[in-house]
């Protein structure tokens, strides 16, 4: 027998009882203006407009009572329990459907453009939403164009995803990705939110009640593009299942799990049993190269925890076959079956990750492109956006000509304060919807660039070509050439502004961070580069089938030939041209759009005297990078420069 897990008998029986086995269906009765639900595993209440006002398990209330918000210091609005918001706008509640009506164990509300229903089961509440809530702004990530937020009490004890993210704290300590999240009280009672898109704790001055000015929200939305009803489930348990009674605490001796100058990664792992549980079995890690998946790594150790000795700390040493980025899962395994799984990423010897080979005529190609761009009339126009003017600044829609004489657009924000100031070029994430609509002027000198070739004020957003794929088989005709020329022209425009003191910085996230490196190479006068989730580095890997996000290989084309074309547009291959005084990069080791190995191939190609600080989030993905890391200098790491050989540099070609 390789391992075992046990809970006290009263925990085991309670956990089984909470799974609806042989339990009667709940009763739902109207009491005044609300509906009261009595089920085997929980009690609930729903308000007249469809708000989930209460959800009690084993004597503990999980739902936060009425909260009040004052977005932007404006009119105060109230939210209760489950409410509807604009996508990514927790502070912008939308009208609930209401009035609620009861049909058996199903409670439905229909109005204001959408429907919301609850189905009450012995141990769970099923939620269904459909439609477009009144006032919702369109978005392109999925359907519907809004999300549900379930507001939970601050007095709960912990939250976890035992099949990936592990413990996330309460209040939630860092951004997380989608999954099945459990939120537990001190007595072990809890709720599992199946298919939650995220869980977050928000402390903000706009939250005027409750007194701690915090909202703890479980967000429910979808990336499903079909206009069909969307469903989620909240499962209740009075005592924890095995996966909710064990925790893994993984500690690295280096910031961000970056093991410089070390061929091995060593972690200290503490296993804890809660609620009187016991476990004996294996602590096991299994992983592989994030880009080069054929490189595997594994290790394991015996562990045992009991109510009398509820914690054990062991050391796990991982020795991968070569330098690079590795990801995998740390598991507790009993009888060959994983009980809990926590994802873990690390990088060994980042200074030995090979640089990208730069085409021999790379610099000549881009120098000629910039020389040709300089011959094209700018034809600059500024259209003031008077409704976005504030006491601090003004906003303009910018129109100009880019590569090939094509029109291009950007938003320009200028301060009203007298004197000259540093400027920032803000590079956009991917899609024709970026950089979004004009925002209120904030008093800074900034230019928000569009690279897709469409008018930025049009909605729905559109462009007459796909900049990442159009012309991809021809280096000279590839439309990313237009996009990169937009960056250079916006630098020229803002640097020439009378408000600019001559210092220009560049920033961006996702695609925008990769574009920031490109602009640093095209205009080496850039002083600071700041990027998070640095996508586009080694976009040739996407063409070759090694990475997941980037341009597409056209059907029937030779991947090696197309990879050579896009190599002229790879941000990692611009790195040797950069002369910035400071570079700050945020990297998530589970970022499918921005593999750390590609980013380090760019870092290792920087000139030796160009400083670069890396803030790695070892658990972060593309949409869950922990931006708080950037505020703590101790979490940053200056990675040694490239120490490989010319032969090493051919390893990934």
Segment 214-228 mean pLDDT: 84
pLDDT value, residue 16: 39
- How high is the pLDDT of residue 434? 87
Question: Looking at the predicted structure, is the pLDDT value of residue 211 above 90?
Answer: no
Mean pLDDT calculated for residue range 545-554: 91
Mean pLDDT value across residues 65-93: 89
Tokens for 188, please give them: 């072990």
The matching CATH number, chosen from 2.60.40.2550, 3.40.50.10580, 2.60.120.200, 3.20.190.10, for 245-348 is 2.60.40.2550
Residues 6+ apart with CB under 8 A from 498: 420
Superfamily of domain 362-650: Alpha/Beta hydrolase fold, catalytic domain (3.40.50.1820)
Which residues have CB under 8 Å from 26's CB, separation 6+?
Answer: 37, 38, 39, 40, 105, 120, 121, 122
Give the span between the Cα atoms of 348 and 350, in whole angstroms: 6
- Mean pLDDT of the chain, nearest integer: 91
CA 627 to chain centre: 10
Task: Give backbone dihedrals phi and psi of 412, rounded to 5 degrees, phi first.
Answer: -120, 130
If one compares 650 and 423, the residue with the highest pLDDT of the two is 423
- What is the structure's pLDDT at 642? 62
Q: What is the pLDDT of residue 217?
A: 96
Domain definitions of the chain by residue range = 19-237, 245-348, 362-650
CATH 2.70.98 for domain 19-237, yes or no, is yes
Best CA proximity match to 130, nearest among 145, 140, 141: 145
**Any idea what DSSP says for residue 63?**
B
How confident is the model over 86-145, as pLDDT tens digits?
Answer: 877 899 999 999 899 999 999 999 999 999 999 999 999 999 999 888 887 654 445 567
pLDDT in tens, 138-164: 544 455 678 899 999 999 999 999 999
**For 534-555, what is the mean pLDDT?**
93
Q: How far is CA 219 from each of CA 90, 152, 368, rounded to the nearest angstrom?
A: 9, 11, 49
Across the range 273-298, mean pLDDT stands at 95
Q: Name 117's bridge partners.
A: 108, 128
pLDDT at 644: 54
Q: Quick one: tokens of 471?
A: 């012309």
Q: Is the model's pLDDT at 515 over the cut of 60? A: yes
Average pLDDT, integer, range 167-184: 95
| 562: three-class secondary structure by DSSP | helix
pLDDT digits (tens, 9 = 90+) for 287-296: 999 999 899 9
* Beta carbons within 8 Å of 83's beta carbon, 6+ residues apart: 51, 93, 94, 96, 148, 149, 151
Per residue in 318-348, pLDDT (tens digit) is 999 999 999 999 999 999 999 999 999 999 9
pLDDT band per the 50, 70, 90 thresholds, residue 3: low
As to burial, measured by CB atoms within 10 angstroms (0-12 exposed, 13-18 middle, 19+ buried), residue 227 is exposed
């Amino acid at each position: 027998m390789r391992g075992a897990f046990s809970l006290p008998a009263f925990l085991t029986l309670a956990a089984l009882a909470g799974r609806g086995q042989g339990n009667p269906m709940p009763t739902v009765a109207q009491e005044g203006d609300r509906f009261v639900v009595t089920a085997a595993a929980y009690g609930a209440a729903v308000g007249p407009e469809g708000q989930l006002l209460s959800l009690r398990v084993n004597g503990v209330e999980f739902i936060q009572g009425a909260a009040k918000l004052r977005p932007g210091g404006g009119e105060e609005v109230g939210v209760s329990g489950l409410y509807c918001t604009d996508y990514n706008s927790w502070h912008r509640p939308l009208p609930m459907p209401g009035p609620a009506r009861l049909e058996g164990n199903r409670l439905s509300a229909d109005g204001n453009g959408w429907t919301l229903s609850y189905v009450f089961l012995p141990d769970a509440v099923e939620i269904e939403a459909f439609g477009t809530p009144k006032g919702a702004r369109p978005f392109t990530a999925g359907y519907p164009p809004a999300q549900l937020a379930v507001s939970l009490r601050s007095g709960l004890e912990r939250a976890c995803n035992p099949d990936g993210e592990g413990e996330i704290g309460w209040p939630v300590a860092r951004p997380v990705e989608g999954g099945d999240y459990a939120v537990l009280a001190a007595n072990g009672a809890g709720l599992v939110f199946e298919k939650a898109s995220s869980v977050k704790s928000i402390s903000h001055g706009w939250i005027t009640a409750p007194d701690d000015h915090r909202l703890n929200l479980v967000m429910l939305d979808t990336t499903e593009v079909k206009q069909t009803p969307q469903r989620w489930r909240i499962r209740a348990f009075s005592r924890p299942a095995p996966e909710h009674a064990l925790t893994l605490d993984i500690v690295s001796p280096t910031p961000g799990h970056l093991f410089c100058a070390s061929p091995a990664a060593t972690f200290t792992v503490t296993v804890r049993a809660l609620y009187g549980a016991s476990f004996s079995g294996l602590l096991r890690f299994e992983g592989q190269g994030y880009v080069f998946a054929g490189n595997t790594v594994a290790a394991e150790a015996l562990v045992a925890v009991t109510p009398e000795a509820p914690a054990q700390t062991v050391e796990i040493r991982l020795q991968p076959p070569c330098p690079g980025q590795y990801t995998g899962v740390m598991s507790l395994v009993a009888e060959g079956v994983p009980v809990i799984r926590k994802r873990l990423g690390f990088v060994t010897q980042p200074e030995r990750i090979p640089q990208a080979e730069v085409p021999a005529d790379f610099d000549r190609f881009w120098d000629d492109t910039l020389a040709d761009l300089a011959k094209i009339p700018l034809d600059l126009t500024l259209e003031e956006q008077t409704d976005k003017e504030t006491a601090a600044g003004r906003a303009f829609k910018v129109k100009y000509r880019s590569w090939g004489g094509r029109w291009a657009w950007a938003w320009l924000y200028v301060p009203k304060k007298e004197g000259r100031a540093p400027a920032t070029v803000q590079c956009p994430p991917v899609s024709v919807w970026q950089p979004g609509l004009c925002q209120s002027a904030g008093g800074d000198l900034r230019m928000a660039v569009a690279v897709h070739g469409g008018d930025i004020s049009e909605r729905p957003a559109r462009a007459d070509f796909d900049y990442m794929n159009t012309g991809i088989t021809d280096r000279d005709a590839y439309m990313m050439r237009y996009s990169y020329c937009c960056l250079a022209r916006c630098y020229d425009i803002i640097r020439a502004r009378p408000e600019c003191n001559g210092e220009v910085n560049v920033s961006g996230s996702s695609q925008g961070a990769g574009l920031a490196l490109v602009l640093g190479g095209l205009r080496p006068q850039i002083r600071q580069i700041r990027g998070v989730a640095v996508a586009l580095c080694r976009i040739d890997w996407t063409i070759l089938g090694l990475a997941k996000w980037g341009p597409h290989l056209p059907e029937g084309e030779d991947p090696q030939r197309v990879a050579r074309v896009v190599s002229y547009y790879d941000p990692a291959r611009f790195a040797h041209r950069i002369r910035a005084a400071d570079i700050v990069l945020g990297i998530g080791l589970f970022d499918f759009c921005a593999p750390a190995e590609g980013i380090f191939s760019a870092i290792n190609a920087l000139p030796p005297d160009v400083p670069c600080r890396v803030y790695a989030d070892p658990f972060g993905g593309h949409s869950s990078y922990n931006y708080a890391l950037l505020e703590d200098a101790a979490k940053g790491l200056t990675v040694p420069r490239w120490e490989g050989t010319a032969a090493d540099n051919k390893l990934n070609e």
